[in-house]
Amino acid sequence: MTINKEVKDTALTIAIEGRLDTVTAPQLESELKASLDGMTDLTFDFAKLAYISSAGLRVLLSAQKTMNKQGTMKLINVGEEIKDIFDVTGFADILTIE
């Protein structure tokens, strides 16, 4: 998994390439912990995300909770397979997917 960060003022865009699973999720979690401070707009670009498991969902949920306090969070370029997982788990209701 590769994480690409892009910061513009207080807007952070994170593009993930590859698999977000039990092994890689902690990497994204620590990345977020380090860079979310002071951010008001968080965007995940999932164009190249191939795979997400419950460990990945857990990181997204905690990011959403953090951003609820300090700004907004949205997901862009979500593929059909990933969207299915969000639907099944009810995450589609709590995440902003564009």
CA 14 to chain centre: 7
Pairwise CA distance, residues 44 & 46, whole Å: 6
Report the residue number, 7 or 30, with the smaller CB distance to other proteins.
30
16 φ/ψ angles, rounded to the nearest 5 degrees: -110, 135
Q: Is 58 in the site for other proteins (CB under 8 A)?
A: yes
Q: Which residue in the set 50, 71, 76, 77 belongs to the binding site for other proteins (CB under 8 A)?
A: 50
Report the residue number, 11 or 57, with the smaller CB distance to other proteins.
57
Report the residue number, 8 or 20, with the smaller CB distance to other proteins.
20
Tell me how far CA of residue 92 lies from CA of 15, 26, 35, 71, 84, in angstroms: 19, 22, 24, 19, 9
Q: Is 94 in the site for other proteins (CB under 8 A)?
A: yes
Binding residues for other proteins (CB under 8 A): 21-23, 50-55, 57-58, 61, 64-65, 68, 80-81, 84-85, 88-91, 93-94
